Amino acid sequence: MRILLITGPGGAGRTVVAAATARGAARTGLRVLLLSGDPAGPAAVAADPAEEAPGAGEAAPGLRSVPAAGGYRVARVDSGEEFRAELVALQERGSALLGMVGARPLAAEEFTELPGAEQFALLRALRRAAAAPATDLVVVDMPPLHQSLATLALPAQLRRYLARLLPPERQAARALRPVLAQLAGVPMPARRLYETAARWDEELAAVQAVIESDATEVLLVAEPGPDAADAVRTARLGLALQQLPVSGIVANRLFPQGSPDPWLAGLAAEQEKYAAEWAGELPVSRLAHLGRAPRGPQDLDRLADTEGLLPAAPAPRPVWAVEDRLAEDGVLVWTVPLPGARKRDLDLVRRGDELLLTAGPWRRIVALPAALRRCAVSGAALASGELRIRFTPDPGQWPRTPRAAG
């Protein structure tokens, strides 16, 4: 299975592109599932709105889908429903404690989703979609760029927080909990706390595995222009920091070349300039401006006919390689690809066995490879879109080379 995450700056038309990509892929014979979080977007217009329509059902356990006219299926993310179900389940698991303090449980309809619920609902739906049977391609209509990057980074970040705040090794003292419970006269919540943390970690690990899979890639959508160029550069930098592969860029809403209208001709020339710059670095698919907002399946069919809309092959996941230069320079070099990075935007801090790396507005904390944990950071340089971090072995931790017998 291949998973294509489609995102772009707000208003760039990513939802339309996601629907058109799904339609185009379905025409080639692929079994396609379109995962959409926009109930009023073109993806929904193209689908049968009736949940009980012929063919409606579960695309995967816990993920309902409906058929679309283009020969694919559409699954919508309902963040409100997910939020209510999760809180009701949490309330049931803590019913004993709530009863002790005299709290009254809330009904499901009383819960109103909080900020951030959409991110968790999307991640949960993504994990379910990745397990959908009889599916060759999952196209995901992601939120705008910054929100998408924050969402995709969330599982790894939360797992790190859980490991620091509730390390599994602390459960070794659980034998004392029954005794403490008898002394205190109330149930001790520690066991339930660790059980909940373990369940969350398991779910987050499953989502993280989908995001970091070789089958998962990102397709950027942008309307060529100076603002979009900055947004695309920043997005590529953030995606590279998370080691997420970018398979290409969709240059959307392109005006026709050769117009007799000077204003329109100038605008088309500017669009072509930026699209050509992107094409020098990534595959670019060009979508024509329809002269109006897309309306229904017919317009989506016109866009779906665009050549190269679905990237021909998955992009490889960026590799952060460690180069052994001990013999030549006495250092190990960790190479981090960061396309579009500028020196003034970069910062790195070593903390124990982790490296805190900042690139523009993005930040990531990564565990050092085993060999680099016994070294000290001795310098870094940025060249040709690569950050090369030098590590010098710590004599106190690095194995000594045995002397040759004289």
The pLDDT tens digits of the residues spanning 352-400 come to 999 999 999 999 999 999 999 999 999 999 999 999 999 999 888 777 6
What's the token pair of residue 353?
Answer: 């066995």
CA 256 – CA 269 distance, rounded (Å) = 9
pLDDT for residue 107: 61
Return the structure tokens found at 37: 């979080």
Q: What are phi and psi of 374, to 5 degrees?
A: -100, 20
pLDDT at 79: 62
For residue 148, pLDDT beyond 90: yes
For residue 397, give the amino acid letter: Q
pLDDT recorded at residue 45: 47
How far, CA to CA in Å, does 151 sit from each of 120, 124, 145, 283, 321?
8, 11, 10, 25, 26
Report the alpha-carbon distance of residue 6 to residue 219 in Å, rounded: 5
219 contacts 247 by C-beta, under 8 angstroms: yes
Indicate the domain borders of the chain: 2-81+109-304, 321-393
pLDDT digits (tens, 9 = 90+) for 88-113: 555 555 555 445 545 556 565 655 65
Rounded to an integer, what distance in angstroms lies between the CA atom of residue 229 and that of residue 271? 10
- Please compute, for residue 186, the number of CA atoms within 13 A of its CA located in the half-sphere on the CB side: 9
Residue 51 has pLDDT above 60, yes or no: no
Cβ-defined contacts of 173-176 (< 8 Å, 24+): none
Q: CATH classification of 321-393, choosing from 3.90.1300.10, 3.40.50.300, 1.10.4000.10, 2.60.40.790? A: 2.60.40.790
Which DSSP letter does residue 204 get?
H
Question: In CATH, what class is 2-81+109-304?
Answer: alpha beta
Look at residue 143 in the predicted model and tell me its pLDDT.
Answer: 92
What pLDDT does 277 receive? 95
Residue pLDDT, tens place only, 110-138: 556 556 678 888 998 999 999 999 999 99
- Give the pLDDT score at 259: 86
| Rounded alpha-carbon distances, angstroms, from residue 200 to 60, 209, 295 | 20, 14, 41
How far, rounded to the nearest angstrom, does the alpha carbon of residue 131 sit from its chain's CA centroid?
17
Distant-in-sequence, close-in-space partners of 96: CB < 8 Å, separation ≥ 6: 187
Stated pTM of the model: 0.85
- Residue-level pLDDT at 98: 47
Looking at residue 87, its amino acid is L
* Selected residue with higher pLDDT from 259 and 321: 321
Nearest partner of 274 among 339, 226, 306, judged by Cα: 226
